[in-house]
Structure 1
Amino acid sequence: MLTELSIQDFAIIDKVSITFNEGLTVLTGETGAGKSIIIDAVQLLAGGRGSVEFVRHGSRKAEIEGLFSIDSKDHQIYSTGEYFGIEIEDNMVVLHRTITANGKSICRVNGKLVTLAILKEFGRNLIDVHSQHETQSLMDPDNHINLLDTYDEKQIAKAKKEYTRLYDKLTTLKKRYRDLSENEQEMTHRLDLLEFQVSELEQANLEPDEDTELEEERSKLANFERIFKGLQDAYTALYGEQRGIEWLSTANQALQENAAHDSFIAEKAEEMSNHYYLLEELMYDLRNYIDTMQFDPARLNDIEARLDEINRLKKKYGPTVNEMIEYMGKIEEEIEQITNKDSHLSRLADEIRETAQDAYLEAKQLHDLRQKAADSLTKDIHKELKGLYLEKATFSVSFQTKENPDQEEDTSVKLHANGFDYVHFLISTNPGEPLKELSKVASGGELSRIMLALKNIFAKHQGVTSVIFDEVDTGVSGRVAQAIAEKIHQISRDSQVLCITHLPQVAAMSDTHKLIEKSEHNNRTSTSVMELSTEQKIDELSRMITGTKLTDTAREHAKELLELASNFKAK
């Protein structure tokens, strides 16, 4: 959940830090006080589009930072962090967004600089913002198939994984088929190029690790004089009269003569003897190596020429000799495929048909599982809608397919990344009206209730830590307002909910109530946030009921709303 939000120099907000709790938190206040500005800040924190207009007048930059605590170790955010190389410690994620006055946007996740796209990936797993007029994921037909799969993920995920494996294989095979069946002229040009490359690499007669070995030999020859002098100096320091070996021999003999009289001397005499013979052997190795050394300037010239040739080829075919040899193997295989194109195309066509059939069978299993999930989802949706006084509404999940244009697949329906299903959520809010897409529901009040019904069902499946409602209760009143309040509270049992509202019924249902106020100081407008006590909450509810004037009747009504909300939550 969103634990703490810090906003500085953002729109009319000077500086504010808000602590959030679990459950339902409502934000209320006069129109223009800055309630929606806070939601705008959260949306930017989740990767929304920024603008210099958000930077407070006279400030160099606007800064937003949010601390999220993650309860479940299985939360999607951990795999997102692993994918982007961002460590998540102590079950906490910190998102940070800075927008400068010149339009530059700086994003961080747990202190690490990231792109806006990466910030958005984290944000979509942590925050789900819904507003009255926003195009929401729940209303987007392209997202309905994923929502349906999420609804019954336990059953569908395994089948979907196997289908995805086959679909990816099919996509790869089809690409290879298209590449190989290009027009004859392009294929001839490709073959000429590949044969030239193979010829050039074959003439080079490359050997594995040749470049590394040549560079090592070149270094040795280029530094021959220095190496020879170093070896000679080392050997001379050891061998000869009054040199290292002779003094070690003297020390060794002195210890050996007294080894029988003292156990310590006996132990050290043995160590000295071992070291002496090792150094003597080392000295002989140095001498033998010096005897084999011979400077060959012609060989150095040959190496330089060979490395020049290899480096020329590296610019074309790879950074190392081994990678060039590997590349030559690949293009030889491609030449063989082009030369024997017809047989390869025939074999690929057979493999495409076989893989397409396997993928179709998996897609059919996915379809059957989705049909069962859709039946269950439809029942749940009708139950939710009934509780929101849309008992005459009809919800349906539409399954469609498209004809397959790819003849080589030999399947009647078109396969795509999610199978062959195209899923749409349809609804009719009044008897006699045809089913239509959710996004085409005209009434704002109906749209609010439908969205809440869907959100109540999907919130527990989507794993989002914080759900934010920005005035989704607009256009409703009376018993519908009370039903929406109860539904929002139900959603808060599975996810933290932050809600901007003008409805006293929703505000009364809150676990935490924060008042947003606007004030003026030194000719500058600022926004402040205050958490209300029970008495203050009664006063705010009274204001929401009557407008500005607080009356005893309004206070009694506010107390009654709080009591009703308390009784509902106790159930």
Structure 2
Amino acid sequence: MLQELSIKNFAIIDELFLSIEKGLTVLTGETGAGKSIIIDAVHLLVGGRGSSEFVRHGEKKAEIEGLFILDDPTHPCYERAREFGIDIEEGMIILHRDLSSTGKSVCRINGKLVTISILREVGSTLIDIHGQHEHQELMNETNHLRLLDQYGSQEIEQALNNYGILYKQYEQTLSKLKSLSENEQQMAHRLDLIQFQLREIQGANLQLNEDEELMEEKRKLSNFEKLFDSLKTSYGALQGEQKGIDWVGLAMTQLEAAAEIEKDFSPILESVSNCFYILEDVARTIRNEYDSLEYSPERLNDIESRLNEINQLKRKYGGTVEDILEYSATIEEEIETIINRESHIEDLQKKLYQVQKDLFLEAKQLHDLRKIWADQLTKAIHDELKHLYMDKTIFEVRFLQSAGELKGNPNPPFRKDGLDIIEFYISTNPGEPLKPLNKVASGGELSRMMLALKTIFSKHQGITSIIFDEVDTGVSGRVAQAIAEKIYQVSEHSQVLCISHLPQVAAMADTHLFIMKETVDGRTRTLVRTLEHNEKIKEVGRMISGVEITDKTKEHAEELLQLAYAKKAT
């Protein structure tokens, strides 16, 4: 949820800090007090289009910052953040945006500089803003299939996963077949090239780890003189009259005499004796190594030449000898495939045909599940619409293209989400034909339709916060009460911020924020105050009657609040 919101030098807001609670928060106030300006600031915070006109007059920049708390570790924001290399610690994400008076924007997520498009990508998982004429996701037909799949929950998700596994095989097979079916001249050129490459690699007769072994031998030959001197000196220090082994031998002889007198010296004698024999073995080894050393400038030149050959192959075919040998095996297989192209094409066509058959069955299974869930969704939305006094409205999940319609098509248009193309259709008046949802003209009907959809989908979308910006415009009476209850119902699954002029909506608020403006030193600024119960009565009364608030108005407001409390309790 959106826990804290800070706005500085934005329009008529000089500095504003909001701590926002869970549930339903309603913003009310006189027209022009700055309610919509706060929503505009949130819209910019999640990647909306900015303008220098938003910067408060006389200031260099506007600053907006929001702290979001993610209680669900599977929230889609985590996946988006990982895609862009953004760390989320302790379930907290901070969005920050600066807008300069020159129109330049600077965006940050958890302190990391990001582009506006990345801010928008991440922000879309956190906040969903709905205005009277801007219904975003629900009004975009390209999202309807995904919304239906979300409504179908784990059942459709499992079918989609099964389909997705086969779809990857289908794509891979199709890609190989397309590659082999390319222009014959291009294929011949490709064959010439990789045959030349294979001859070059095979002609080098590379051995695994050969370059490492040659580098080690080169290092020894390049340091021959130093190695020779070191071995000679070390052998001379150990072997010879009055040298290391002689002195250790003398110590051993004396300790033997001491041990014959006192047995306690036997362990010491044993240790020195061991050292003596070890040193003798070491001296012999050094002498053998010393005698076997042979400097060969010709061998060093051969090594240099071989390493140069290997490095040239590395520049062409891979960073290591292992990479080169792997590439060799790959192009050898490709050569065989091209030479026997016709038989491979035939095999791939057979495989593609079988994969298409299996994929179509999975698509059909997915389609059948979607039809079942589409019927359930239709029923659920009709129930919601009845509560909003739109019982004459007809809603339909229309399948514009489906697996059933494409049966018998040798090349059905498979996509990663199946074969179905759907769109939500409605008719708000008896006798009128069903039309796409985004073609509905009435603002009031559109708002109620959107609320019905949002009431259902808010349980499945995972959006942290939802903002309703005057979606209740153009309604009154029992419809207003129904809208208030629906907005509250949405807030049970997602935090909701709502700008409203309806007293019924204000009465349902868990938190009521009153927006007002004042003039200080000739400058106008916006202020926000959280209302207590008695202040709520006064504000709801103002919303009922207008300017003059009588005792009867207060009684009506008190009654409306009590009814709202009772309704929320059930």
Same fold (TM over 0.5): yes
Q: Residue 125 of structure 2: SS of its match in structure 1?
A: helix
* Pair 296,131 (structure 1): closer, same or farther in 2 beyond 3 Å: farther
Whole-Å Cα distance in 1 between the matches of residues 499 and 435 of structure 2?
A: 29
Map 1:145-544 to 2 at 5 A.
145-236=145-236, 257=258, 281-282=281-282, 284-401=284-401, 411=410, 413-522=412-521, 524-544=523-543
The one-letter amino acid paired with 2:344 is H
Shift of 1:323: 1.2
The one-letter amino acid paired with 2:333 is E
Whole-Å Cα distance in 1 between the matches of residues 236 and 41 of structure 2?
A: 77
Whole-Å Cα distance in 2 between the matches of residues 415 and 340 of structure 1?
A: 29
Q: Residue 152 of structure 1: SS of its match in structure 2?
A: helix
Cα RMSD for the two superposed structures: 3.3
CA contact (8 A) 1:167 1:359 kept: yes
CA contact (8 A) 2:403 2:420 kept: no
Q: Residue 193 of structure 2: SS of its match in structure 1?
A: helix
- In the superposition, the TM-score normalised over structure 2's length comes to 0.89
Q: How high is the sequence identity, in percent, across the aligned residues?
A: 55
* Pair 507,253 (structure 1): closer, same or farther in 2 beyond 3 Å: farther
Which has the larger displacement, 556-565 or 487-496?
556-565
Whole-Å Cα distance in 2 between the matches of residues 489 and 191 of structure 1?
A: 68
Superposed CA deviations along residues 183-229 of structure 1, whole A, max 9, x for unmatched, are 22222222222222222322333322333333333333333334444
Whole-Å Cα distance in 2 between the matches of residues 286 and 491 of structure 1?
A: 85
Whole-Å Cα distance in 2 between the matches of residues 21 and 260 of structure 1?
A: 92
Shift of 1:131: 1.9
Shift of 1:28: 2.3
- In the superposition, the TM-score normalised over structure 1's length comes to 0.88
Whole-Å Cα distance in 2 between the matches of residues 527 and 104 of structure 1?
A: 24
Whole-Å Cα distance in 2 between the matches of residues 230 and 548 of structure 1?
A: 104
Q: Residue 133 of structure 2: SS of its match in structure 1?
A: coil
The one-letter amino acid paired with 1:72 is D
Q: Which has the greater radius of gyration? A: 2
CA contact (8 A) 1:4 1:20 kept: yes
Whole-Å Cα distance in 2 between the matches of residues 61 and 275 of structure 1?
A: 80
Whole-Å Cα distance in 2 between the matches of residues 452 and 254 of structure 1?
A: 103
The one-letter amino acid paired with 2:179 is D
* Pair 484,290 (structure 1): closer, same or farther in 2 beyond 3 Å: farther
Equivalent in the alignment of 1:545: 544
Whole-Å Cα distance in 1 between the matches of residues 381 and 330 of structure 2?
A: 56
Whole-Å Cα distance in 2 between the matches of residues 190 and 236 of structure 1?
A: 64
CA contact (8 A) 1:259 1:269 kept: no
Whole-Å Cα distance in 2 between the matches of residues 71 and 346 of structure 1?
A: 54
Shift of 1:548: 4.4
Whole-Å Cα distance in 2 between the matches of residues 455 and 548 of structure 1?
A: 34
Which has the larger displacement, 377-386 or 110-119?
110-119
Which has the larger displacement, 450-459 or 80-89?
80-89
Which has the larger displacement, 515-524 or 133-142?
515-524
Q: Residue 93 of structure 1: SS of its match in structure 2?
A: strand
* Pair 203,123 (structure 1): closer, same or farther in 2 beyond 3 Å: same
* Pair 26,231 (structure 1): closer, same or farther in 2 beyond 3 Å: farther
Whole-Å Cα distance in 1 between the matches of residues 521 and 279 of structure 2?
A: 86
Which has the larger displacement, 160-169 or 251-260?
251-260
The one-letter amino acid paired with 1:129 is I
Superposed CA deviations along residues 448-504 of structure 1, whole A, max 9, x for unmatched, are 100110000011111222122222222222222221111000011111111122222
Unaligned runs of 5+ in 2: none
* Pair 551,187 (structure 1): closer, same or farther in 2 beyond 3 Å: same
Whole-Å Cα distance in 2 between the matches of residues 259 and 568 of structure 1?
A: 106
Whole-Å Cα distance in 1 between the matches of residues 7 and 253 of structure 2?
A: 82
Whole-Å Cα distance in 1 between the matches of residues 410 and 8 of structure 2?
A: 58
* Pair 85,238 (structure 1): closer, same or farther in 2 beyond 3 Å: farther
The one-letter amino acid paired with 2:465 is S
The one-letter amino acid paired with 2:170 is L
* Pair 309,510 (structure 1): closer, same or farther in 2 beyond 3 Å: same
Equivalent in the alignment of 1:26: 26
Q: Residue 467 of structure 2: SS of its match in structure 1?
A: strand
Shift of 1:272: 6.2
CA contact (8 A) 2:10 2:56 kept: yes
CA contact (8 A) 2:151 2:460 kept: yes
* Pair 302,381 (structure 1): closer, same or farther in 2 beyond 3 Å: same
Whole-Å Cα distance in 1 between the matches of residues 232 and 444 of structure 2?
A: 96
* Pair 394,288 (structure 1): closer, same or farther in 2 beyond 3 Å: same
Q: Residue 202 of structure 2: SS of its match in structure 1?
A: helix
Whole-Å Cα distance in 1 between the matches of residues 260 and 480 of structure 2?
A: 103
* Pair 479,196 (structure 1): closer, same or farther in 2 beyond 3 Å: same
CA contact (8 A) 1:403 1:412 kept: no
Q: Residue 335 of structure 1: SS of its match in structure 2?
A: helix
Which has the larger displacement, 292-301 or 440-449?
292-301
* Pair 304,442 (structure 1): closer, same or farther in 2 beyond 3 Å: same
CA contact (8 A) 1:239 1:283 kept: yes
Which has the larger displacement, 44-53 or 453-462?
44-53
* Pair 255,418 (structure 1): closer, same or farther in 2 beyond 3 Å: farther
Map 1:10-21 to 2 at 5 A.
10-21=10-21
Shift of 1:568: 1.3
